[in-house]
Amino acid sequence: MPDVAREPHPWRDGFTWHDHDRSPTTLAADQVAAFDRDGYTVVPDAFDHETLATLDRAIAPGEERVRELLASLPGGRLSVAGVDTQTVAPHLVLQSDVLRAFCRHPLLVGICRDLMGDDVRLYWEQAVYKQPHSVEPVLWHQDNGYTFVVPQDYLTCWVAITDATPDNGCVSVVPGVHRDGTLRHLTTDIGQECWGDHDLAVQVPVSAGSIVVFSSLTPHFTGRNRTDEVRKSYIVQYCHDGAVAHLPDRAGEMGPPMPQEDPDRQFPVLRDGRPPG
C-alpha cells in the first residue's frame, strides 16, 4: 500500500473549522466539545435490542444482494468491498420504509441539529457487514475523500448493530485532524487512502446500539475482523441543505457541482430547525 503524506486536498480551498457555540438539545455539552476538539464523540446505548433486530431484518435483503453481486465478480472484490472482507450495501432507504424512518429518528435528527444547524438532509446511508476472519482492513480515509462534498464538514453516524471491538474491526480515529479540512487521498485496490498514524490513533470500541458520531473530515480506519461472527454496522450520513458534490473531470480537475438533493434518498430531515411535516 502507498505511504500517503499528510497534505491538503487540492480542492480544500482555505477550509476553516468553526467550533459550535449554540446550546445543544440532544447531545451533552461535553460531547459537543469532544466533537469539536477530537472530531468524534460517542452516544452509548442509543438503541435497544429490538430496534437493532428490526434494522438487521430491514438490511438483510440488500446485504444479500450485495453478497451475490460480489460473488459473481472476478476475485469477489469491488474496491473496499469483498466477499472475504466486508459487504457494503448503500441506498437501502430506496427499498425500506423501516430504514427511511430510522434515518429520521428523533435522536439522529437531534444530533444533526446540534452539530450541523437547522437545515439538514440525508446524504448517504449504507450497511457495512465485516465478514468473519476478513482479509483486508478499511484503510485510513476521510469520508469526504471518497466524493468531495461542499460544505466539506458533513456528519457520519456509525450505528453499531453488534458490539464493535478491537478484535472485530471497531472504528479507530486520529483526533484533531478534522480541523485541517480534507486531506489528499490516493486510490488503491481496496479503496481510498489518506494519511493516518496508528501511534496517534484512538480505538473506539462500542456496544451494540451505540453511535460513533464523527465528522466527514475525521481520518478513520477499521481493522480486520478476526472473530467468528459478522460485525454489523449501519452508517447514516447527513449533509447541509444545499450541499454539492464534485468528481474529477477528464483532466483530473474539479468537476461541476452536483446538488445532493435526490428526493428519494437524500430527503430533508431538518428545515428551519424542525423535522419536515
Does 20 fall in a domain? no
Mean pLDDT of 46-75: 97
Position 10 scores a pLDDT of: 95
CA-to-CA dists, residue 163 to 90, 157, 167, 182, 185, angstroms: 21, 15, 10, 29, 30
Position 1 scores a pLDDT of: 44
Residue with cell 447527513: 238
Does 178 fall in a domain? yes
Domain total for the chain?
Answer: 1
Find the CATH number of the domain harbouring 51. Answer: 2.60.120.620
Q: What are phi and psi of 188, to 5 degrees?
A: -120, 175
Does 167 fall in a domain? yes
Does 277 fall in a domain? no
Position 144 scores a pLDDT of: 98
Mean pLDDT of 261-274: 97
According to DSSP, the residues that pair with 274 across neighbouring strands are 271
pTM beyond cutoff 0.95: yes
Contact of 52 with 62, CB cutoff 8 Å? no
- Strand segments, DSSP code E, in the chain are 40-43, 77-78, 81-82, 86-90, 120-130, 138-141, 148-150, 155-160, 171-173, 186-188, 191-193, 202-204, 211-215, 220-222, 231-240, 244-246, 258-259, 268-270
Does 14 fall in a domain? no
- The pLDDT of residue 185 is above 60: yes
Mean pLDDT of 64-89: 96
pLDDT per position as a tens digit, 138-168? 999 999 999 999 999 999 999 999 999 999 9
How far apart are alpha carbons 58 and 208 in whole angstroms? 17
Contact of 192 with 186, CB cutoff 8 Å? yes
Distinct helix (H) and strand (E) counts, the chain: 4, 18
At residue 3 the predicted structure's pLDDT band, cuts being 50, 70 and 90, is confident
At residue 2 the predicted structure's pLDDT band, cuts being 50, 70 and 90, is low
CB atoms within 10 A of CB 240: 21
Does 170 fall in a domain? yes
Does 272 fall in a domain? no
Mean pLDDT of 265-274: 97
Contact of 145 with 182, CB cutoff 8 Å? yes
pLDDT per position as a tens digit, 20-42? 999 999 999 999 999 999 999 99
In the chain, what are the helix, strand and coil shares in percent, each to the nearest 5? 25, 30, 45
| Integer-rounded Cα radius of gyration of the chain | 18
Does 276 fall in a domain? no
Write out the three cell numbers for 136.
Answer: 483486508
Residue with cell 449501519: 234
Position 277 scores a pLDDT of: 79
Write out the three cell numbers for 135.
Answer: 482479509
pLDDT per position as a tens digit, 224-267? 999 999 999 999 999 999 999 999 999 989 999 999 999 999 99
Per the prediction, the chain carries an average pLDDT of 97
CA-to-CA dists, residue 102 to 19, 29, 156, 211, angstroms: 28, 25, 14, 13
Q: Which domain holds residue 134?
A: 29-242
